[in-house]
Amino acid sequence: RALYNNLENDENMAMACDQAVRYVKKSDWKGNLQKENEIKASLFEVLKDEKKVENIFAIVKKQSEY
């Protein structure tokens, strides 16, 4: 829901970001710069905007489901 709210209520974009994160995330990724950068790269493929990637990544990092 947080992704949806921060992506201008674009359900398809929120789902694409969720899938991108779930596909590339590895265990214990939070706090590991290399693993975090892999997730950011995956988000960039979806969002095509560095500012949006940083914004969405900050939200993802706070979510316990990831």
Instruction: Output the pLDDT for position 1.
Output: 81
Does the structure show a pLDDT above 90 at 60?
yes
Per-residue pLDDT tens over the stretch 6-56: 999 999 999 999 999 999 999 999 999 999 999 999 999 999 999 999 999
Distance CA 57, CA 3 (A): 10
Check if the beta carbon of residue 38 is closer than 8 Å to that of residue 30.
no
Instruction: Output the pLDDT for position 4.
Output: 93
- Report pTM: 0.92
